[in-house]
Amino acid sequence: MTELVALVVAALGTYLWRCLGVAFSGRVNIESEFFRWIACVSYAMVAGLVVRIIVLPVGLLAQVPTPLRLLACGVALALMVWPHPRWGGLVPGLLAGSLVIALASLAL
């Protein structure tokens, strides 16, 4: 199978599900128990992946000691939940956590 055929088949498979999603989106109740369950499973999967990245890192992150990785996560989480209009939130938390990791890596 050539690369072009593989690309066309992959695109058709992807766009088929997108078209079906658009077609059925008006008939789906997003407040149903099923969608709440899907949301919970999604959050659990993301949390599991984050914990795996922190506890069992690969690549360059594995060179940073575990206590420093945990400190960076604590700083990032504290800033994300801090209700300050400028210094709290997702972006400041991610920047602060990344800064802690970068400074810790330079200090080692």
CA distance 77 to 71: 10
Answer whether 0.75 is exceeded by the pTM: no
Among residues 88, 106, 85, which one has the least CA distance to residue 96?
Answer: 88
Domain boundaries, the chain: 64-108
Residue type at 42? S
Residues 78, 91 contacting (CB under 8 angstroms): no
Give 57-75 pLDDT, tens digit per residue: 999 889 889 999 999 999 9
Give 28-43 pLDDT, tens digit per residue: 888 899 989 999 999 9
Give 44-59 pLDDT, tens digit per residue: 999 999 999 999 999 9
